[in-house]
């Protein structure tokens, strides 16, 4: 069995506790306007080119984005970094794209990593059948769960899909997962109005059973915008600027009222 992965990041410090190895899996059922990993959306390998400049000359380098890995490949990569992951209280994270879109491979990889004593995390949009979440629950120490918008209509408008399945899975994990960290992308003019923030705060408070350990507020940034050209995709965020620091501080105060630790950034 193989999984399609578009990037492997060693020494990652933003995808869960400690130092981690993060596997970015290809394929995502959402198409968020602000996505900074658009190369993770298609569930097939893609060809692209990159222009490199050396000594005033330009060279075009062809690249294949997305490579198949076996579970043994995953274990081999993680064993090499074990000293750092173990000593820092870190582990291994599956992100994307949407890792739960490759459920069989993800389950097999998580089982194998747990058997070897690795701490495991899954960074998810929550959009996958409940059965897939139930299966990976026993082998996942931490879920990083994105909450984008509580209004279904607005969620469809911004991400292309309904939030119903996402919220059902969120409630499941808030009841049954060992630990959950919520990630809220803060997108000016799209999900940061006061009315929505208050609803989101109250929703999180009502669902929390004590295992939601942290809320990360992730300010929108434009770092991924150049990738849209490379992948022939339309950049729909023209004119949207990152949120002001003051706004982020205000949001931190709102969400602190849930009683959960809040951090600005990953």
The residues that touch ligand SF4, with contacts defined as CB under 6 A, are: 28, 30-32, 35, 37, 40-41, 96-98, 125
Closest to ligand SF4 by CB, 25 vs 81, is 25
Minimum CB–partner distance for residue 134 and ligand SF4 (Å): 21
Closest to ligand SF4 by CB, 155 vs 201, is 155
Interatomic CA distance for residues 174 and 197, integer angstroms? 19
- Phi and psi at 153, nearest 5°, equal -60, -45
Task: Give a three-class secondary structure readout of 108-163.
Answer: HHHHHHHHCCCCEEEEECCCCCHHHHHHHHHHCCEEEEECCCCCHHHHHHHHCCCC
Residue 98: C-alpha distances to residues 37, 40, 55, 246 (Å): 11, 8, 39, 31
Closest to ligand SF4 by CB, 81 vs 123, is 123
Q: What is the dihedral of CA 96, 22, 122, 155, to 10 degrees?
A: -30
Minimum CB–partner distance for residue 41 and ligand SF4 (Å): 6
Minimum CB–partner distance for residue 33 and ligand SF4 (Å): 9
Minimum CB–partner distance for residue 144 and ligand SF4 (Å): 11
Closest to ligand SF4 by CB, 102 vs 125, is 125
Residue 266: C-alpha distances to residues 146, 157, 175, 185 (Å): 12, 25, 23, 10
Closest to ligand SF4 by CB, 118 vs 136, is 136
Minimum CB–partner distance for residue 40 and ligand SF4 (Å): 5
């Amino acid at each position: 069995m193989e999984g399609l992965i578009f990037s492997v990041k060693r020494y990652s410090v933003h995808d869960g506790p400690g130092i981690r190895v993060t596997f970015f899996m290809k394929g995502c059922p959402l198409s968020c306007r602000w996505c900074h990993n658009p190369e993770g959306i298609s569930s097939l390998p893609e060809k692209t080119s990159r222009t490199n400049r050396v000594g005033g000359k330009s060279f075009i380098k062809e690249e294949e984005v997305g490579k198949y890995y076996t579970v043994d490949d995953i274990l081999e990569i993680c064993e090499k970094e074990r000293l750092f992951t173990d000593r820092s209280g870190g582990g291994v994270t599956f992100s994307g794209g949407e890792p739960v879109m490759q459920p069989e491979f993800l389950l097999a990889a998580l089982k194998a990593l747990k058997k070897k004593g690795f701490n495991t995390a899954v960074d998810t949009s929550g959009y996958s059948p409940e059965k897939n979440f139930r299966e990976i629950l026993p082998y996942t120490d931490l879920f990083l769960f994105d909450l984008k918008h509580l209004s279904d209509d607005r969620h469809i408008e911004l991400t292309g899909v309904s939030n119903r399945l996402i919220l059902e899975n969120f409630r499941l994990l808030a009841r049954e997962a060992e630990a959950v960290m919520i990630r809220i992308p803060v997108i000016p003019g799209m999900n940061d109005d006061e009315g929505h923030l208050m609803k989101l705060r109250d929703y999180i408070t009502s669902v929390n059973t004590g295992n939601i350990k942290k809320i990360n507020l992730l300010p929108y940034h434009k770092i991924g915008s150049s990738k849209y050209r490379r992948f022939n995709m339309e950049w729909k965020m023209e004119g949207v600027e990152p949120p002001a620091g003051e706004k982020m501080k205000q949001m931190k105060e709102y969400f602190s009222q849930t009683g959960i630790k809040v951090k600005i950034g990953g």
